[in-house]
Amino acid sequence: MSLTIKVLLGVLLGIMLGLTINLMGLNTSGYWVKEYIVDGLFLVVGKMFINGLKMLVVPLVFFSLICGVCGIGNINTLGRVGGKAFLLYLMTTAIAIVVAITISVSAGLGDGMVIESESGFSAKPTPPLTDVLINIIPSNPIQAMANGDMLPLIFFAILLGISILLVGEKAKPFIQAAEIANEIMMKMVMVVMAVAPYAVFVLISRSIAELGLDLLSQLAGYVLVLVGALFFHLFVTLMVVLKLFSGLNLRTFLRKVRGAQVFAFSTASSNATIPVTLHAVIQRLGVNNSVASFTVPFGATINMDGTAIMQGVATVFIANLYGVELGMAGYLTVIMMSVLASIGTAGVPGVGLIMLSMVFTQVGLPEEGIGLILGVDRLMDMIRTSVNVTGDAVVSTIVAKSEDSLDMALYDDFYTGAVDTSDLHIGSK
């Protein structure tokens, strides 16, 4: 059985087991199932796997960016690739939130509804834009790596790559070393992925066991509109953008990003999914490493279409619940804030809620409103992270196509890496 199938099986079995545990009420404190399985074994194995993925992110991004910059070999091209990616990321996020607000307003979401507040949400402040800009340049690159801060890490690696190019001939051995290191890191991704089906199984079991169905039905309107808007963005907006800008076959694309989507769903973190996204974008879609090494980690940090959609839907929902009239100016503020907030925050679980509290403060909505949607947020986070990661892959593919850095033979090969994941088997090759 191929790894992809095993992972999908892990998702399915995880949902089934999670639901069983929840429906039988075994996830209440005092039960051994909760103490030893859900909060014991599942928690440990799941967290170990996510740590395993995160462990790869910094060295992988670092080495692959050095190789990427040296591969591009020209500072002008580098600027062009960066500019295109940045504009496309902003554009898709802006479309996402406009569509989300439109759908929620026309569905009359939250009109005439009253729900008991769950509260319990305390907002952490989001970094102000000035800090985001200043901190792009790391005062200490090692510290940025240690903290896993993406933008300063990207900045340092790009500058290092440029300096290597400027040194020229003498720096060749360094480039070779970086290339070897990059290959080793890619291999390490495979090693970690070997346990993915089991990890995905426990991660999803645990989320579903904790969440259950009650909350979902209580917040059915919010969940339905949000999921609808997320799917619309995934299958309509992003696909139209991909078709318009690249003319590529959409079915092939969707098939090849499936793996990255599943990991984004299981981990609820675009950052932790970077190794898998890079693998899908380079090895399956055929994007040249020089483009992908830049666009993928960049996208994981600044591009959050799904998160923006959640903010649009949540704002309309809470505003209606509390009877606040936002008006055009209010909505425009929401759009701007969400786009800006997605630039400054990293793709880690739950960060969307922090951004949401910033949006609420800005437009004068009560922050405790966030408490209402808190219960279902984990599941929504899983879905929106898949959308975020798909957006990263779409933009990477468009930029690569426009730069003539897309291996068309690899892209057009419908089956490459999609079903046969023999490249994921450790050792034998």
**Closer by beta carbon to ligand ASP, 10 or else 306:** 306
Minimum distance of ligand ASP from residue 62's CB (angstroms)? 20
Establish if 311 lies at the interface with ligand ASP (CB under 6 A): no
Exactly one of 88, 202, 268, 376 binds ligand ASP (CB under 6 A); which one?
268
Exactly one of 104, 269, 301, 338 binds ligand ASP (CB under 6 A); which one?
269
Establish if 352 lies at the interface with ligand ASP (CB under 6 A): yes
Residue type, 214: D
Q: Which stretch binds ligand ASP (CB under 6 A): 198-206, 322-330, 344-352, 394-402?
A: 344-352
Exactly one of 348, 395, 399, 400 binds ligand ASP (CB under 6 A); which one?
348
Minimum distance of ligand ASP from residue 311's CB (angstroms)? 9
**Closer by beta carbon to ligand ASP, 295 or else 307:** 307
Minimum distance of ligand ASP from residue 258's CB (angstroms)? 17
Exactly one of 286, 299, 347, 369 binds ligand ASP (CB under 6 A); which one?
347
Contact predicate 424/193, CB 8 Å = yes
Exactly one of 18, 152, 286, 349 binds ligand ASP (CB under 6 A); which one?
349
**Closer by beta carbon to ligand ASP, 6 or else 378:** 378
Contact predicate 85/68, CB 8 Å = no
Binding mask 359-398 for ligand ASP (x = CB under 6 A): ----------------------x--xx--x----------
Q: Which residue has the tokens 């405790």?
A: 368
Establish if 257 lies at the interface with ligand ASP (CB under 6 A): no
**Closer by beta carbon to ligand ASP, 293 or else 311:** 311
Q: Which stretch binds ligand ASP (CB under 6 A): 50-58, 188-196, 224-232, 262-270?
A: 262-270
CA distance 25 to 193: 32
Establish if 207 lies at the interface with ligand ASP (CB under 6 A): no
- Nearest residue to ligand ASP, scored by beta-carbon proximity: 352
Contact predicate 307/342, CB 8 Å = yes
Establish if 79 lies at the interface with ligand ASP (CB under 6 A): no
Establish if 342 lies at the interface with ligand ASP (CB under 6 A): no
Binding footprint of ligand ASP on the chain (CB under 6 A): 268-270, 304, 307, 347-352, 381, 384-385, 388
